[in-house]
Structure 1
Amino acid sequence: MLLVALIGLHLQPLSISPLEKHFAIILIFIVAIIIYGIAYVLTKLKPQDAEYLSKFRFIRLVFGIIAIELLASIIISPFWLSVVILCSILIVGVLCLYNKFIN
């Protein structure tokens, strides 16, 4: 929520809509939020199996990171490449830790 407010404040002096300038990023953000929401709902509605829950928690973690990274890339657009690289390193680190705990 805070990142969305910051995007509005960041683009307000420029008098342009975030949808005009960053349409692809916002579209991917919406898809990531939908996948996160589906994983959240399935976690809450399905039987509480430990293997099942760990997979959906992992999906929620990865898509939550992706959604935050996409919003941050709009705010700091000149440095978007460094944000993408940093987020990729973070996701790979999370994947390695996830595999370490599973095995």
Structure 2
Amino acid sequence: MMVYPWAYKAVKVKDSSALQRVANNAVQRIERKTGSIYRASVTHEVLGIAGGGSDDWARSALGTKYVYTIELRDRGSFGFVLPPNQILETAQEGYIVVDTVAQAIN
């Protein structure tokens, strides 16, 4: 899952379309590379309203435009202790997110 502010209130940030575009690009690249399906959305729409998130803080306190929370594998089957055969692909997925956001910043 790749989510972005806001989580603490049911309102989208003013430039949510730009954040959604970058997130969509990242999750599409991940699917092409590893076959994994990630969802891109506003945090409060998929996880509900919750305060205290570092992404909300980075957005409001620092004015960071491209701020995301990424939930990588595992989805709970292994208690977040990945089997060795999933580590490389998970690292590739994380790299794709960082690379996609970095390209958007440039």
Tell me, yes or no, whether TM beats 0.5.
no
Compare the two structures and name the one with the higher strand fraction.
2
Compare the two structures and name the one with the higher helix fraction.
1
Larger Rg: 1
The bucket for the TM-score relative to the shorter chain is: 0.3 to 0.5
If asked which structure has higher relative contact order (CA below 8 Å, sep 6+), I would say 2
